[in-house]
């Protein structure tokens, strides 16, 4: 008896060992495929959503097992770099445009290889192209967001402002009027602390027609950007913003807006849900981001699914899973959960029915994206976070030069 157990133990160990040698992936005994899925966490609802989706998918496709890994935005880049260096990239990855950027190194399937033609045709073309590298799309967009101006209607009425500002000059004027109300109220909330300074700066710079370069070179120090930063400084100097914008982070400042102490602030679609939850009594509305001359422009951000090629054997399974994800019900639920704008036409129709998302969807054609397919953008983004707030005390052109120097040194 003991010998039998021993033999069984050895056999089990050997089998396990063999499976481990096979990379723990592809063909087990019954032709099963294991997919590793790595996604970032947007909030509390992210993980339960994926767990449910994986369960539903596995019920439909018994031969495919999906191993889910949810990472925080803070960690996901580090975890991913380590995995890729160790030849253990996930099969499916959701990430911002840093995901499609791996296509440059030949690690990825092309977008049309990981979803069916029908799914791809449903995605808004501008989004597919937004992270294309040299014309080739590697990522399929999952969520999208644009920015818009949230304003406090009550404070607008008190300050006697009829309509939300369209141009910078109107913005400055309205903000000054609201700041003049006193009682701790600020006109415009400008978060330039290290949380997301690159976002606020980009909205202003894009509003002056600037761009941060392209896939091959990042250029920060341009005349348009200088103009934008100079105007931001003017807003600060004329006390149209809250005190110390240089060191104010976005999330706490949006909370102050929700408390009704700020006249205007730039926000994302999820802020709508936050206001409803935290202060439903707030009288607010959304308008397009003001620009230099009123021409629509704002910052757009999208996240993408990419498929890692590795030995190329799992393409079929990846496609099955992603097609399942983009089925209308699953996909709309995903965007509802996170409060973002869907990137598919069918999803967009569902979202357009919600009035609070309308401004964000309308802003899509004028939205400009970060040049995040360029690896140097991460350095530029880091430099913005650390340095751009200095416009509060230093001349704007000097600050831009300092950021450009960082980008150039980061190489």
Partner 1 sequence: MIDPTAAPPKARRRKVTRESTLQALPWLAPALLLIGGVVVYPAGYMFYTSFRDISRFGTDLGWAGWDNYGKVFALGHLPRVFLNTAVWVVGVVLISVLVSLVLAQFLNKTFPGRTVVRLAVIVPWAASVVMTSTIFVYGLDPFYGVINQFLVDTGVMAQPYGFLKNPVSGFLSSAAVAVFVSVPFTTFVILAGLQTVPGDVLEAAQIDGATKAQTYWRVVFPMLRPALAVAALINVINVFNSLPILRTMTGAIPGYDADTTTTLTFKIIQGDRQIDTASALSVINFLVVLIVIAFYLRIVRPMREV
Binding site for partner 1 (CB under 8 A): 81-82, 84-85, 184, 192-195, 197, 242-244, 246-249, 252, 256, 259, 261, 375, 378-379, 382-383, 385-390, 392, 406, 409-410
**Which of 242, 404 has the CB closer to partner 1?**
242
Taking the complex as a whole, how short is the minimal distance between the CB of residue 256 and partner 1, in angstroms? 5
Taking the complex as a whole, how short is the minimal distance between the CB of residue 80 and partner 1, in angstroms? 10
CB neighbour burial string for 134-168, b if at least 16 within 10 angstroms, e if fewer? eeebbbbbbbbbbbbbbbbeebbeebebeebbbeb
Distances (CA, A) of 254 to 77, 171, 260, 380: 26, 18, 10, 24
- Give phi and psi for 23, each to the nearest 5: 85, 10
Taking the complex as a whole, how short is the minimal distance between the CB of residue 228 and partner 1, in angstroms? 17
**Which of 211, 249 has the CB closer to partner 1?**
249
**Which of 259, 283 has the CB closer to partner 1?**
259
DSSP string, 36-52: EEEEE--STTHHHHHHH
**Which of 16, 243 has the CB closer to partner 1?**
243
DSSP conformational letter for 305: E
Taking the complex as a whole, how short is the minimal distance between the CB of residue 207 and partner 1, in angstroms? 21
Contact between residue 361 and residue 145 where contact means Cβ atoms under 8 Å apart: no
Q: Which two tokens stand for residue 185?
A: 């109220």
Distances (CA, A) of 137 to 92, 127, 300, 320, 410: 15, 10, 18, 19, 26
Taking the complex as a whole, how short is the minimal distance between the CB of residue 133 and partner 1, in angstroms? 17
- Give phi and psi for 393, each to the nearest 5: -115, -20
Q: In whole angstroms, give the CA distance from residue 261 to residue 268.
A: 19
**Which of 343, 383 has the CB closer to partner 1?**
383
Taking the complex as a whole, how short is the minimal distance between the CB of residue 307 and partner 1, in angstroms? 20
**Which of 77, 315 has the CB closer to partner 1?**
77
């Amino acid at each position: 008896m003991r010998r039998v157990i021993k033999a069984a133990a050895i056999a089990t160990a050997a089998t396990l060992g063999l499976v481990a040698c096979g990379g723990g992936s592809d063909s087990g005994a019954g032709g099963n495929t294991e997919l590793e899925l790595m996604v970032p966490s947007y909030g509390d609802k992210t993980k339960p959503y994926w767990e449910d989706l994986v369960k539903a998918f596995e019920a439909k496709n018994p031969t495919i097992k999906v191993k889910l890994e949810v990472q925080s935005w803070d960690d996901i880049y580090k975890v991913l770099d380590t995995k890729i260096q160790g030849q253990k990239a996930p099969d499916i990855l959701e990430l911002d445009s840093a995901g499609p950027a791996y296509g440059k190194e030949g690690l990825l399937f092309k977008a049309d290889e990981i979803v069916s033609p029908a799914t791809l045709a449903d995605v808004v073309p501008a989004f597919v192209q937004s992270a294309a590298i040299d014309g080739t799309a590697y990522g399929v967009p999952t969520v999208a967001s644009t920015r818009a101006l949230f304003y406090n209607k009550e404070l607008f009425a008190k300050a006697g402002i009829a309509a939300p500002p369209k141009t910078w000059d109107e913005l400055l004027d309205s903000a000054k009027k609201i700041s003049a109300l006193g009682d701790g109220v600020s006109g415009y909330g400008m978060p330039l602390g290290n949380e997301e300074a690159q976002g606020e700066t980009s909205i202003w710079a894009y509003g002056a027609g600037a761009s941060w370069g392209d896939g091959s070179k990042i250029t920060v120090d341009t005349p348009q950007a200088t103009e934008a930063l100079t105007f931001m400084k003017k807003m600060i100097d004329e006390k149209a913003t809250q005190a110390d914008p240089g060191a104010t982070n976005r999330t706490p400042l949006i909370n102050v807006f929700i408390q009704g102490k700020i006249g205007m602030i730039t926000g994302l679609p999820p802020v709508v849900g936050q206001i409803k939850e935290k202060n439903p009594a707030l009288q607010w509305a959304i308008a397009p981001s003001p620009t230099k001359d009123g021409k629509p422009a704002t910052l757009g951000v999208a996240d993408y699914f990419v498929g890692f090629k590795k030995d190329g054997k799992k393409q079929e399974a990846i496609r099955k899973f992603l097609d399942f994800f983009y089925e209308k019900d699953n996909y709309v639920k995903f965007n509802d959960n996170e409060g973002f704008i869907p990137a598919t036409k069918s999803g967009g129709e569902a979202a357009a029915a919600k009035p609070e998302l309308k401004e964000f969807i309308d802003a899509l054609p004028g939205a400009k994206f970060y040049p995040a397919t360029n690896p140097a953008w991460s350095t530029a983004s880091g430099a913005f976070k650390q340095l751009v707030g200095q416009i509060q005390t230093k001349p704007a052109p000097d600050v831009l030069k300092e950021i450009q120097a960082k980008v150039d040194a980061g190489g």
